[in-house]
Structure 1
Amino acid sequence: MAAYVISTHHTSISRACRVVCLPKSMYYYTKKKDDSETIDKLRELAEKHPTEGQDLYYSRIRREGLKWNYKRVRRVYLLLGMNRRRKVRKRVPARVQEPLVIPEAPLKTWSLDFMGDVLTNKRKFRTLNVIDDHNRQAIAIEVAHSMPATTVTGLLERIIKEHGKPLRFRTDNGPEFISREFREWCANKGIGIQFIQPGRPMQNGYIERFNRTFRENILDAYLFDNITQVQILAEEWMQDYNYSRPHEALGGKTPMEYRALPAACCY
């Protein structure tokens, strides 16, 4: 009422307060609430349970014995903008570190990884690289513009028909490998998955070394107009890599020569 008198009759605050019988101190009074505790609690709940909403947060708060009423929780919830849709970052489950050892025989562990590059027209493409950790044999290099999980499983299905089924895959935590489609496909095939720890590419060191050689010899050495050219050169290079290129880690033998050795001679 005092504010109305001031704005309408252009009078002073003191006179307007006398007219409406309002103490001047009450005119200046601002209601203060300390919501810091409520803010901290809601932020804590949002961190622990990012997919839940206001009602569940309120129920959790009451179960903890905090007697804040619903309106207070609602007001702070809106104040923090928690009613707006927010992106939830997927958390990678804890991974167990395993030593990088040479399997005693082929088809024990295959390492998988992706690489990327661009064509001369600036269109991107990817390669799915697969090697056998036992003798570093290049099992496959598959080239495509995009490789969702369904494409990856289809490619692996064909590769397994040609080379046999391994006991497990060693991979990083890329979206294609942690996807439900890929994990369910591996489970149906009876193939285990050994995920390396995030940010620890050295735990997949065999294929990291392979990727470096492939990039130096093919991806960085040529310009490609289309992915067919990439696929043809990759297959020719794999033939040389597996049958003609000696490896220091294999005692100067090629991957196929090393595979042909009796098991006792490989160590």
Structure 2
Amino acid sequence: MNLKKLRRLYREEMLQVRRRGGRTRALGTRRPTLLPCAPNQRQSLDFVSDALADGRRFRVLPVVDDYSRECLARTADTARSGLRVVRGLDTLMARRGRPAMAVSDIGTELTSMAALPWCQRAAVG
């Protein structure tokens, strides 16, 4: 059924035409990411998952320096909470210093009630 016929039927039955919802857009401003020109300027966090032979799943959080491509930390666990992620990032900051920027895809551990206040407290952009 094409759109004209659908609208005609709605008009004959005196029904409201359903409006489509708009596209959801990301919050904030979009700007191109600058390439890091020194170590510890930008770090990437990304969760990687796999399964053990017995079927249990585990996740690994590698933290990579984008300038030197060095893996700064790598933690693996079967169940990872936001508090444990924050604890690991605090340990890394004590050892390597605070990065100017931390980049990640939005994982549930990084949007938790423990991780978001940590980002503001640590002043990581």
TM-score exceeds 0.5: yes
| 1:231-242 pair list within 5 angstroms | none
Task: Return the match for 1:36 from 15, 30, 38.
Answer: 15
Alignment pair present for 1:178 and 2:116: no
Counterpart position of 1:111: 44
Counterpart position of 2:26: 93
The answer (yes or no) to whether the contact 1:92–1:173 under 8 Å persists in 2 is no
| Aligned Cα root-mean-square deviation (Å) | 2.6
**Take 1:35 and 1:180, find their aligned partners in 2: how far apart are those partners?**
48
Cα offsets for 1:125-177 (capped at 9, x unmatched): 00001011121111011001122322211111111112211111011122222
Measured after TM superposition, the shift of residue 185 of structure 1 is: 1.0
**Take 2:25 and 2:94, find their aligned partners in 1: how far apart are those partners?**
31
**Take 1:159 and 1:176, find their aligned partners in 2: how far apart are those partners?**
17
Which structure has more relative contact order (CA 8 Å, sep 6+)? It is 2
**Take 2:63 and 2:34, find their aligned partners in 1: how far apart are those partners?**
17
3-state secondary structure, aligned to 1:128: strand
**Take 1:129 and 1:169, find their aligned partners in 2: how far apart are those partners?**
12
| Contiguous gaps of at least 5 residues in structure 2 | 1-12
Q: Which amino acid aligns with 2:36?
A: P
Q: Which amino acid aligns with 2:62?
A: N
Relative to its length, the structure with more helix (as a share) is: 1
Q: Which amino acid aligns with 1:129?
A: P
3-state secondary structure, aligned to 1:183: helix
**Take 1:112 and 1:92, find their aligned partners in 2: how far apart are those partners?**
23
Residues paired across the two proteins, number = 112
Counterpart position of 1:122: 55
3-state secondary structure, aligned to 1:36: coil
**Take 1:98 and 1:117, find their aligned partners in 2: how far apart are those partners?**
33
The answer (yes or no) to whether the contact 1:109–1:132 under 8 Å persists in 2 is yes
**Take 2:31 and 2:80, find their aligned partners in 1: how far apart are those partners?**
27
Task: Return the match for 1:135 from 58, 62, 68.
Answer: 68
Task: Return the match for 1:160 from 84, 93, 110.
Answer: 93
| 1:193-212 pair list within 5 angstroms | none
Alignment pair present for 1:187 and 2:120: yes
Relative to its length, the structure with more strand (as a share) is: 2
Q: Which amino acid aligns with 1:183?
A: L
**Take 2:84 and 2:14, find their aligned partners in 1: how far apart are those partners?**
51
3-state secondary structure, aligned to 1:131: strand
After TM superposition, the score normalised by the length of structure 1 is 0.37
After TM superposition, the score normalised by the length of structure 2 is 0.74
| Contiguous gaps of at least 5 residues in structure 1 | 1-33, 49-90, 193-267
Cα offsets for 1:219-252 (capped at 9, x unmatched): xxxxxxxxxxxxxxxxxxxxxxxxxxxxxxxxxx
Q: For the pair shown, which has the larger CA radius of gyration, 1 or 2?
A: 1
The answer (yes or no) to whether the contact 1:125–1:144 under 8 Å persists in 2 is yes
